[in-house]
Structure 1
Amino acid sequence: MRQFLFFVKKEFYHLVRDRQTFFILLCLPLALILIFGFALTNEVKNSRIAVLDNSKDKATRAIIDQLEASRYFDILEYIPSNDKLEATFRSGKIKLAVVFPPNFNQELLHTNTATIQLIGDASDPNTSNALINYATAVIMDYQAGFRNAAEIPLRINTEIRMLYNPQLKGSYNFVPGVMAMVLMLVCAIMTSISIAREKEIGTMEVILVSPIVPMRLVFAKMVPYFLMSVVNIGSILLLSVYVLDVPIQGNLVLLILECMMFTIASLALGLLISSISNSQQVAMLLSVVVLFLPTAMLSGFMFPVENMPAVLRFISHAVPARWFYTTVINIMIKGLGFEYVWKETLILAVMTVFFLAVSILNFKTRLE
């Protein structure tokens, strides 16, 4: 036990001695969660639009006011005529134009039907489609408050209900994904260079003649990064709740335990890469290619797994971040219990044991 604590202390010295790296490991998770939570979001907010009001009556004014009051739109310009519409789009200043025909209110009152034209800039089809959907929702909201059964014939309306995230906040999606990326970054990538560093600077010979067994050495290298990851988990959860307004709907203890499970799996995977690498550069390259990119691309964080080709869906099963991302979504966002995440937990546990076993066996082989 004394030997084990000695190597843990040694790893702490390696970590703290490089103050720049230590500072980055503590501050990078906070920066990532803030950037992804506020700047990089799949929500469409404050989009610049233009209005062409050929009617200028109280109905059009009311709809324009509702559009302007929405957090999705920022009315940049009131276009005087149809001739100026295309030029406004060509300038790149707007993404959507709302066009009211002449006599809009009069037509709505007398015929019970009126048309509003929504023109989107489809050079970015996803954004254009989202803006049109938002504008349609605002218009339908006005119609629901305006009409009554005596004036307008009965119509079939669709009622939309969004579960778990009724405001469609992008942070609900990004927080679990950033947690997976940060833990993989701190744990796997940093530990992947630990053993390789020993080989490169020549201290591996000292370790080889020491009486410590490979299992204890592997665990000793994991402890400092595990403790730092626990600090990062706490800071991410605090920022998520109090800064990004992402509530923890499920059991907090279960969520923390799942984060620790993924942390250990990431540490074990990083040590496995480290044990088969002869230099820090090779270890870092393998970490980026084998760990970081699959975490970002195949975990379901940025792209839905179900939309991927069958080959990529199959490969994604070997990415630990996929199972962790699903677990965090179920616990933190949906408020589900362990009975809904036991399968993902079991898969992560099996991966952790496998990575640790291979790392220890591979290191033991090098000792002989």
Structure 2
Amino acid sequence: MKQFLAFVRKEFYHISRDKRTILILLGMPIVQIIIFGFAITTEVKNVRVAVFDPSKDEVTQKIIDKIDANEYMNVIARIDNQQDIQTTFKEGKADIILVFGDHFGENFRHTGDASVQLITDGTDPNTASTLTGYVSNVISSAQQELSGQYKAPLTITPKVKLLYNPGMKGAYNFVPGVMGLILMLICAMMTSISIVREKESGTMEVLLVSPVKPIYIILAKAIPYMVLSGINIITILLLSVFVLDVPIAGSLVLLFGVSLLFIIVSLALGLLISTIAETQVAAMLVSGMVLLMPVMLLSGMIYPTENMPVMLQVISNIIPAKWYIIAVKKIMIEGLDVFFVLKEIGILSFMAFVLLIVSLKKFNDRLE
């Protein structure tokens, strides 16, 4: 019994010496419970509603006011020109647009029947269904009030139109997310493990005393994972088009260019992790805690970040996969050109620059 207790005591001593292990063992459950508790929600909040209302009568204004008074929705814009509807979605200014017909109120009172079109982005089918459901419920409530006011059976029929994904296929949403997740895991996790393996086995010192400069050693380790990532992108796109029926609406060259930029960011993250971790297991755990879980929960891959608390939204902004997934959706699903993804390209470029500088500096410091 004493020997058993001695082994137990020894294991506690061993764990207490490694602060990173303690952080992973004690910190990861806390982070998981916070993220799972707040990020995973089926509610859609802060819905941005735009309105095209050529009638501008009492009935349409009552419906608009009722939508604006809803706790989940805000009317943020009035569209004066029908041609601006598509532009509003391309620029990401609204989540759903209400389009009233000409003489809406007059038709509603005289014929007892009127229709309003609900236009939303179908690239995320779950969110699109929730948005149209919210607005349809508010319109139904307004219809009941108006029916009592005019003492007649009146009907407002919402007609839903889904842009980019009219069939509401789930693949349109998860394909960009899978691309971001796979690239992050292959480039960041495998690169960090590969470099740490060299340090752990003692062969890194042998490589560093060779005539080859350290930067070339790092590049030699990064290039294979870059090539594998390129192959994975091609495979995912082929499966998306020919198996999942997800079209590539935009420029294939631009899509590969943004993917290459994201690969560089991921490789820099892997290099940074390799300067922190001392063992392969530690590198894998750090990669899983710092990369895998945030990418799945805070990048918008599964759940819209707009529905999360403000603090988690701020944290999601520093996750590279979020900006990559947004860019892929714009290029691949919506078919937008480079001018509409300049923000995402700029953020990823800045992240790549900062991560490369910090990673190479820390790597050189470790060598010294």
Q: TM-score range by the shorter chain?
A: 0.5 to 0.7
Letter matched to residue 335 of structure 1 = G
Alignment of 1:33-182 (within 5 A): 155-182=155-182
1:267 Cα deviation from its structure 2 partner: 1.1
Residue aligning to 1:228:
228
Q: State the SS of the aligned residue for 1:336.
A: coil
Letter matched to residue 336 of structure 2 = L
Equivalent-residue separation in structure 1 for 2:342 and 2:309 (angstroms): 27
**Structure 1 residue ranges (4+ consecutive) displaced by more than 4 angstroms after TM superposition:** none
Letter matched to residue 333 of structure 1 = I
1:154 Cα deviation from its structure 2 partner: 6.5
Residue aligning to 1:300:
300
* Cα deviation 1:148-179 (Å, max 9, x = unaligned): xxxx9773322211111111110000100011
Partners of 2:191 and 2:270 within 8 A in 1: yes
CA 1:153–1:309: 2 relative to 1, 3 Å: closer
Q: State the SS of the aligned residue for 1:322.
A: helix
Residue aligning to 1:195:
195
Equivalent-residue separation in structure 2 for 1:154 and 1:306 (angstroms): 36
Letter matched to residue 362 of structure 1 = K
Equivalent-residue separation in structure 2 for 1:205 and 1:218 (angstroms): 13
Q: State the SS of the aligned residue for 1:306.
A: helix
Equivalent-residue separation in structure 1 for 2:191 and 2:223 (angstroms): 10
1:214 Cα deviation from its structure 2 partner: 2.6
Residue aligning to 1:277:
277
Partners of 1:214 and 1:363 within 8 A in 2: no
Partners of 2:208 and 2:214 within 8 A in 1: no
Partners of 1:247 and 1:332 within 8 A in 2: yes
Equivalent-residue separation in structure 2 for 1:252 and 1:204 (angstroms): 39
Q: Which moved more, 1:200-209 or 1:306-315?
A: 200-209
Equivalent-residue separation in structure 1 for 2:195 and 2:154 (angstroms): 73
1:259 matches 2:237: no
Letter matched to residue 169 of structure 2 = K
Equivalent-residue separation in structure 1 for 2:170 and 2:322 (angstroms): 19
1:313 Cα deviation from its structure 2 partner: 0.5
Q: State the SS of the aligned residue for 1:160.
A: strand
Partners of 1:196 and 1:280 within 8 A in 2: yes
Letter matched to residue 277 of structure 2 = S
Letter matched to residue 314 of structure 1 = V
CA RMSD between the two structures: 2.7
Partners of 1:273 and 1:287 within 8 A in 2: yes
Calculate the TM-score normalised by the size of structure 2: 0.58
Residue aligning to 1:219:
219
Equivalent-residue separation in structure 2 for 1:168 and 1:212 (angstroms): 53
Structure number with larger C-alpha Rg: 1
Equivalent-residue separation in structure 2 for 1:215 and 1:296 (angstroms): 32
Q: State the SS of the aligned residue for 1:158.
A: strand
1:356 Cα deviation from its structure 2 partner: 1.4
Equivalent-residue separation in structure 1 for 2:335 and 2:257 (angstroms): 15
Q: State the SS of the aligned residue for 1:193.
A: helix
Residue aligning to 1:341:
341
Q: State the SS of the aligned residue for 2:165.
A: coil
1:354 Cα deviation from its structure 2 partner: 1.4
Partners of 1:191 and 1:222 within 8 A in 2: yes
Q: State the SS of the aligned residue for 2:189.
A: helix
Letter matched to residue 322 of structure 1 = K
1:288 matches 2:288: yes
Partners of 1:214 and 1:360 within 8 A in 2: no
Equivalent-residue separation in structure 1 for 2:362 and 2:162 (angstroms): 49
1:343 Cα deviation from its structure 2 partner: 1.0
Partners of 1:218 and 1:360 within 8 A in 2: no
Q: What are the ranges of 5 or more consecutive residues in structure 1 without an aligned counterpart?
A: 1-41, 43-111, 113-125, 137-151
1:186 Cα deviation from its structure 2 partner: 1.0
1:271 Cα deviation from its structure 2 partner: 1.2
Equivalent-residue separation in structure 2 for 1:339 and 1:205 (angstroms): 46
Residue aligning to 1:358:
358
Residue aligning to 1:242:
242
Q: State the SS of the aligned residue for 2:156.
A: coil
Partners of 2:172 and 2:246 within 8 A in 1: yes
1:364 Cα deviation from its structure 2 partner: 1.1
Equivalent-residue separation in structure 2 for 1:214 and 1:352 (angstroms): 19
Letter matched to residue 158 of structure 2 = T
* Cα deviation 1:47-85 (Å, max 9, x = unaligned): xxxxxxxxxxxxxxxxxxxxxxxxxxxxxxxxxxxxxxx
Residue aligning to 1:20:
none
Number of residue pairs aligned between Structure 1 and Structure 2: 229
Partners of 1:299 and 1:316 within 8 A in 2: yes
Equivalent-residue separation in structure 2 for 1:198 and 1:209 (angstroms): 14
Partners of 1:196 and 1:277 within 8 A in 2: yes
Equivalent-residue separation in structure 2 for 1:283 and 1:273 (angstroms): 7
1:300 Cα deviation from its structure 2 partner: 0.6
1:347 Cα deviation from its structure 2 partner: 0.9
